[in-house]
Structure 1
């Protein structure tokens, strides 16, 4: 996984005061949830963080020291605005559970055949050592035909990673694009 670096600072202020100043209150939990560290992140850094999958391993720079973490939770207000971020500190060799996004490639080939990819699951829960996770689970759908189904057990998951989701769940299926049928029918008439 990418090792993304974000700057943070320790905080003593309350969350509302930070938000008024354009900062986001955060907390970093250690391996023991009783030991946590209150920190803050600028809105600019938070926006940069949002560009990456939630499952990414990130490095938080605090007082010149890098701390590897994963995002455990992003709390939002009623309007969808991020108001708090929880990070989980991880060490090399730590076993964690992460939801890894499923990425479909080759959809242009399906479009040219008048087929449509119907996606049911956007991420899959896996467990393993933090540094062994892939960024995404990529599925090439270019050679699939109408009626083909992709199941979780069909995904290419590294051998050192354990699948936490039910392998028999359908991730996606290929069907005829009904809009193409309507367009073709109109052209015939």
Structure 2
């Protein structure tokens, strides 16, 4: 689980496009904290601090503390918008969470020990079906990533979600099937060569 961090914020009295543009001119971005059966809270955050957190990785899977005028609120980022041209943060939505909160998050999948996979050594390719897996998990137990060990996997082998160790209490949002996360596929050239050889053999017959 990633380390919790703190961001300082101030409440926003005014909302709307004009107010948001003014905030951005002053190095701030508009954000909203919602959930936990409380009224949404409009806040402003440092653009630089939030953008650094987003680019550092793990932003969407890390619980944060928002210090709003001295009140500390535990939150989980749920969405953010980037300017498509200038790549700076435009807006962030945060969900209030407690230690008992159950949340749904997209968790990245990392692959290790590629050099210990016989299939990859033979020239096979790692075909990643899911780069992320959506989990139902406690807000205090969100993994930074899930790990797939490729040791011993050969061409034709498949990695299912049941093959991945999940944190205690975590369950996949897709619960009705043991879905595929990755496969070890044969090389396209090999497949084409085999098909060509078969065709030649049939022609000779």
Identify if the C-alpha distance between structure 1 residues 9 and 142 changes in structure 2 by more than 3 Å, giving closer, same or farther: farther
- The match for 2:66 among 27, 47, 60 is 60
Question: Could you list the runs of 5+ residues in structure 2 that have no partner in the other structure?
Answer: 192-205
Residue from 140, 164, 168 that aligns with 2:178: 168
Partners of 1:152 and 1:66 lie apart in 2 by 37
- Measure how far apart 1:29 and its partner are: 0.9
Aligned residues of 1:7 and 1:45 also touching (Cα < 8 A) = no
How far has the Cα of 1:90 moved from its partner? 0.4
> In the superposition, relative to structure 1, how do residues 173 and 65 fare at CA in structure 2: closer, same or farther (>3 Å)?
same
CA gap 1:180/1:19 in 2 versus in 1, 3 angstroms: farther
Spell out, residue by residue over 1:134-171, the C-alpha distance to the aligned partner (whole angstroms, 9 max, x if none): 22111111321111111122221134122212442211
Structure 1: any 5+ residue segments left out of the alignment? 182-189
Contact between 2:31 and 2:91, CA under 8 Å: does it hold in 1?
yes
Larger Rg: 2
Q: Distance in 1 between matches of 2:65 and 2:52?
A: 13
- Please give the secondary structure, in 2, of the residue aligned with 1:131: helix
TM-score (norm 1): 0.82
Aligned residue number for residue 11 of structure 1: 12
Aligned residues: 181
Give a deviation string over 1:50-86, Cα, whole Å, max 9, x none: 1232122222233344322111111244546431100
Distance 2:113 2:7 in 1: 33
Higher fraction of helix? 2
**TM-score of the two chains, using structure 2 as the length reference:** 0.76
Matches of 2:50 and 2:189 in 1, distance apart? 39
Distance 1:151 1:91 in 2: 31
Aligned in 2, Cα 1:109/1:44: closer, same or farther, shift over 3 Å? farther
The RMSD of aligned alpha carbons is 2.6
